[in-house]
Amino acid sequence: MTKSNKAYNSFEVAQSQFDRVADLLDLKAATRELLRSPLREYSFAIPVRMDDGSVQVFRAFRVQHNDARGPSKGGIRFHPLETQDTVRALAMWMTWKCAVVDIPLGGAKGGVICDPHHLSAREQELVCRGWVRQIVKNVGPTIDVPAPDVMTSAQHMTWMLDEFEAVTGSRAPGFITGKPISLGGSQGRKEATGYGLVFTLREALREMGLRPEDTVASVQGFGNVAQYAIELFTQIGGRVEAVSCWDQADSTSYTYRKKGGVDLAELRAISDPFGGIHSGRAIELGYEKLSGDAWIEQDVDILIPAALENAIRADNVGRIGKRVRIVAEGANGPTTPEADSALKDRGIFVLPDLLANAGGVTCSYFEQVQSNMNYYWAKDEVLGKLDVKMTSAFLAVHELARKQKLYMRDAAYVIAVTRVAEACHDRGWV
């Protein structure tokens, strides 16, 4: 969703965020060294015979940052610009995310350098099965549990589960989450990340004395997270007036704006499985087509970056409108440290990613529990449990921020890092 920036390194950002909190907590040197880098990293090649008979080799990764609190957990993303440093950063953020919502899991992440837009279904299946074959000894229900991420879906998880079970000769639905309901997936999983974001946003609005029906938002992204965030935000009374996403025709990002609010159903009707929108049809429906970065300068109360990292940067943070009161981070690492300082100076209330988008991993944990015990909950029960978890986590972070006069991101990190450090200490690692 954003132009690549060679100077930007996600892992360096993640480490700088950790260093700041390590200083606040006065962590011992050994604890800092342990938590600052992943415990384990895997890099491997996946050879695939393509539909035209040629063989293409895809590079892939799995990084397990820390598993002191439980099995590693984290998605697998397919992206042409994937790097090992990006996966390292995402794995570290997953560790903190699991800890801040207090679920007994550690952080991991996986990736394949590929563009599924240009791969047939058969070729994508072979990439998925190849990924599992290369890493099968180092993942599993009690070791490391993958899940969907950017440009992967329930279908990709199904292929991976089938390959894992074929190789291990077992039935292990708890190996992976984000599965179809028919294969042990959880009700509410699709909605979880977007809904979880809105649960925390709802609480933030309450603390600020704002009613949802009096607020307007602009959203970056139109994938799973963004769509369900828009859905629940409008259900509680809010309005979304701008959405930034890919154009199906030229793979360029544009912002689609509509006075009075976007219509989620009509945008879904002209979108593809990867969150791209048919630009021409959007214009026919009355949407104004703006530049991809225009989402950040809209006259709104709330900004929701829900696409990729590096979305709010030093070069565009100054374009945020004066009306903006809240930034709710649906994406992982969407705000660079320089931009974060600017948001803090402006007094904008930031719902940090490791709290705001933790609904996905929380529901993945619910799915993992259900799969392992072979007993499944109704959708209302899942979403109810999710609401309780996300609300409790928000209240704990907000209370610490209030008591110690901390920035919300720092407060979330203090809670998360403290919990992980204590687990490492209790195990005798440091």
Amino acid (one-letter) located at 232:
L
Contacting residues for 332 by C-beta, under 8 A, at least 6 apart: 89, 90, 93, 309, 353, 357
Rounded Cα distance between 239 and 365, Å, is: 31
- Contacts made by residues 7-10, CB under 8 angstroms, sequence distance 24+: 8/309, 8/310, 8/313, 8/336, 9/85, 10/85, 10/86, 10/88, 10/89, 10/90, 10/309, 10/310, 10/333
- E-state strands within 202-308: 216-220, 239-246, 253-257, 288-291, 302-305
For tokens 């077992």, name the residue. 170
6 is in an annotated binding site: no
CA distances from 273 to 55, 246, 269, 278, 389 (A): 26, 12, 11, 12, 29
Residues annotated as part of the active site: 109
Q: Tally Cβ neighbours within 10 Å of residue 213.
A: 9
Q: Output the six-digit token pair for 313.
A: 């940067």
CA dihedral of residues 206, 208, 214, 219 (deg, nearest 10) = -90
Q: Is 364 annotated as a binding residue?
A: yes
CB burial class (10 A; 0-12, 13-18, 19+) of residue 289?
A: middle
> Nearest 5°: phi and psi at 33?
-65, -40
Whole-number Å distance between alpha carbons of 322 and 67 = 42
Q: Is 153 annotated as a binding residue?
A: no
Tokens of 154: 């329930």
Please choose, from the candidates 302, 291, 249, 242, the residue with its C-alpha nearest in 3D space to the C-alpha of residue 267: 242
Residues 363, 385: Cα–Cα separation, whole Å: 9
DSSP symbol at 119: S
Task: For 50-103, list the strands marked E by DSSP.
Answer: 55-66, 72-78
97 among annotated binding-site residues: yes
Residue 3 annotated as part of some ligand binding site: no
Annotated binding site for NAD(+): 193, 224
Annotated binding site: 73, 97, 193, 224, 364
Annotated binding site for substrate: 73, 97, 364
